[in-house]
Amino acid sequence: MNQVLKTAIFGASGYSGAELLRILSPRTDVEVVKLFANASAGKNIDELYPMFSGVNELPVEHYTPGACDGLDLAFIAMPSGEAMKIVPELQSYVGKIIDLGGDFRLPNASLYKNFYKHEHHAPELLGGVTYGLPEEFKNEITSATLIANPGCYPTSAILPLIPVLRERLIEPAAIAISSMSGVSGAGRSASTEMSFAEVNENVRAYKIGSHQHIPEMQTVLSKVSGENVTVSFIPHLIPITRGIYTTIHASLTRTTSTQEVYDLFKAAYADAPFVRIRKTIPQIKDVVLTNYCDIGFAVDENTNQLVLISVIDNLMKGAAGQAVQNMNLMYGFPETAGLL
């Protein structure tokens, strides 16, 4: 490709939007042409994020229909429910769209009503969406025009589960997933419960049994494994800014060994540049500010369970980094361009 890819970022004032800009700013083959946001429109991005001072001082604008006319790609990093309002119109102006939110990840409108608690405004689009998990759907991504970038928790849970589910090494029902997340996953907005004084020196689980990432995990894992996968997912908010730590308990279907599981993972992700199979227990700091998903595991003979552990940076492999990985595949850039 000789021309520079022209892109826009919707939701530029949020953490995922700013992370996209941070990743893309040094690239010479991609240009961020437009930044959109609502509450912050009228300011320049370096006023919102002074780290961009002298680096990128683009204005943040209100989006108006047609404002992206002729651009190649739009990244949408807006709160749940916003992308579905914009995408139908936006598709007539830009070539391709990557939505970092959840508006296009689930297969049907009824799941949105149950888990996102609102109607879907563009259900006719749901059939044509590609789930942007490059390790599993690389071919589809290459030719996709509308990508649903996976959720942060689902990315951390699906990657370690796919190989062992496919191998029928674990029971598909009642997989117990316990995740800990940094607060940047909740976005940049004013709320008492995300204030430092409430989060610091504290831990709290939330949305037990009702988190919108449950149907996302179950849908993708069932599709990939050909079995009816059910998960019990407990997210916890912990006092860190970035990162997700996911610990999974699953019942083994047969005896196995550490070596067999290791070999299984290594084979499954031999061609995945951002998945690292670890022989030691991963830590969040091993992946912060990177696009890696590190996977560790243990065979617990005492209970005949397989314990899986994965770590990602929620803003990178869990959001903006994975979106750029998808962009790279969609436009023929090296998969790792700008991400190492």
Window 264-303: residues binding a copy of itself (CB under 8 A):
276, 278, 280-290, 294, 298, 300-303
101-114 per-residue burial string, b: 16 or more CB within 10 A, e: under 16: bbbbbbbeeebbee
The pair of structure tokens assigned to 13 is 């004032």
Residue 264 Cβ, how far from a copy of itself at the closest point, in Å?
18
Catalytic, 152? Answer yes
Q: Which of residues 114-173 bind a copy of itself (CB under 8 A)?
A: 173
Residue 191 CA neighbour count, 13 Å, CB half: 9
Q: Which of residues 236-265 bind a copy of itself (CB under 8 A)?
A: 236, 238-243, 245, 247, 249, 251
Q: Which of residues 15-44 bind a copy of itself (CB under 8 A)?
A: 15, 26
Residue 87 Cβ, how far from a copy of itself at the closest point, in Å?
27
> CA–CA separation, 282 vs 278, rounded Å?
7
Is 240:174 a contact under the CB 8 Å cutoff? no
Q: Which of residues 168-187 bind a copy of itself (CB under 8 A)?
A: 173-176, 178, 180, 182-184
State the catalytic residue, choosing from 94, 97, 106, 152.
152
CB burial of residue 185 (10 Å; 0-12, 13-18, 19+): buried
For the chain, the straight-line distance linking the first and the last C-alpha, in angstroms and rounded, comes to 21
Q: Among residues 41, 67, 125, 194, which is the contact residue for a copy of itself, using CB under 8 A? A: 194
> CA–CA separation, 336 vs 340, rounded Å?
6
Q: Among residues 23, 84, 147, 309, which is the contact residue for a copy of itself, using CB under 8 A? A: 309
**Around Cβ 41, how many Cβ atoms within 10 Å?**
15
Secondary structure letter of residue 145 according to DSSP: S
Q: Among residues 124, 209, 255, 270, which is the contact residue for a copy of itself, using CB under 8 A? A: 209
38 or 247: CB nearest a copy of itself: 247
Q: Does 336 bind a copy of itself (CB under 8 A)?
A: no
- Could you give the residue numbers annotated as active site? 152
